[in-house]
Amino acid sequence: MMGNLAKHRELILAGAILVLLALVTLRYPGFIAPGNLVRVFDDTSILIILALGQMVVILTRCIDLSIAANLALCGMIVALLNVAFPGLPVPLLIGAGIVAGGAFGAFNGVLVWKLGIPSIVVTLGSMTIFRGSIFLLSSGQWVNAHQMTDAFKDFPRATFVGLPMFSWFAIAVIVGFVLMMWRTRLGRSVYAVGVNPTAAVYTGIDVGRTQFFAFVISGMVAGLAGYLWVARYAVAYTEIASGFELNVIAACVIGGISIAGGIGTAAGAVLGALFLGIVANALPVINVSPFAQMAISGTVIIIAVVFNARAERKKGRIILRKAEAQA
C-alpha cells in the first residue's frame, strides 16, 4: 500500500512538472530545447544531491537544519586546501570534502543517538557552529577565483557524453541512493525506524544507530555539494548557501517525503528538487517577479503538506481496520 501511495504522489508531481513546462513553453518555446533542459538539470544538481541526503534523515523522523552550513564549511575547507596545496589532485580534494562532511554529520548523529537531543535542536545549534567555524578558518576572508587552481574550477564544468560533470555527479548520487534505499539493510532499517520505531526495536534494529548513519550520509552529500558549489561559483565565504536548507526541505516535502518519517522515495525527492529547479529557471524567463515565485513555491509546499497529511491519515485508517479485523 505504501508503495502504491508513493507511486501515486510521484505520478501527480511528474504530471505537475509537465504542465508547468507546457505553460512556460507557451510563452517561451525555447525553454524545452534539449540543451536548455540539460542546463536546468545541471543548475538543479546540487539541490537534488542535498535533497536525497535530507530525505534519509527525514525518513528516520529527524531533520537536518545544518545541511547547508555543512556544505559551506566543507566548501571552505576544500578551497583552503586547494590554495595551500595547489598540487593536490581534485579527486583527493573531493574525498576530503566528503570525509569532512561525514564527520560533521556524525557530530549531529552522536548527539541525537547518545544524548537523545531532538534533531531540530541539535542541527540548529550545529548550523551556527559550522557557520562560525568558517569565519574562524578563513579569518573572515573570501577565497576568490584567482586563488583557486584551474583544475579545481574546471573539473565540474567538464563534459562527458554531452553532459557536464555536475549532472553526472547528481546522476551517480541518485543511482546510489536508489540502490541503498531498496537493496541494502540500512535502507530497509531507515524505513522501519520511520514507520514504527518501537516495532523496529523488536525486529533487532537499533533506532539511534540508524539515525546516526542517516546524519553521516546527509553530511557526506553536503561535503560533496560543498566542493561542487565552491568550484561552480569560484568563491568561498562565510555565507555560502545561507538559507539553502529551506530549499532542500521544501524539495523533500514537495516530493512526498513525510516529515513524520517512514514515507517517501528517492524518486520523489528528485522530482521535488526538479520542480523547484524548473520554477527557479522558468519563471524569470516569462517575467514573473521573484515575489510571485516565492508565493508559487509556498503554495506548492502547502498543497504537498496537505496531500501528505491526507495520505498518512488514510494509511492510519487502513492499519486500524486491519488491527480490528485481527482482533
pLDDT single digits (tens) 75-128: 999 999 999 999 999 999 999 999 999 999 999 999 999 999 999 999 999 999
The residues that bridge with 236 in the sheet, in sequence order, are: 143
pLDDT tens digits, 147-186? 999 999 998 888 888 888 989 999 999 999 999 999 999 9
Q: Which of 5, 76, 86, 54 is nearest to 269 (CA)?
A: 54
pTM above 0.75, yes or no: yes
How far apart, in Å, are the Cα atoms of 247 and each of 48, 54, 194, 319?
Answer: 10, 11, 22, 33
| pLDDT at res. 282 | 84
Q: Which of 56, 66, 69, 58 is nearest to 217 (CA)?
A: 56
Question: Domains (ranges, CATH) in the chain?
Answer: 2-326 (1.10.3470)
Which of 161-165, 203-207, 280-284 is the most confident on average? 203-207
Mean pLDDT over the full length of the chain? 88
* Statement: residue 187 has pLDDT above 80: yes
| Residue whose C-alpha cell is 542517516 | 214
Strands 163-164 and 159-160: antiparallel
* Statement: residue 286 has pLDDT above 50: yes
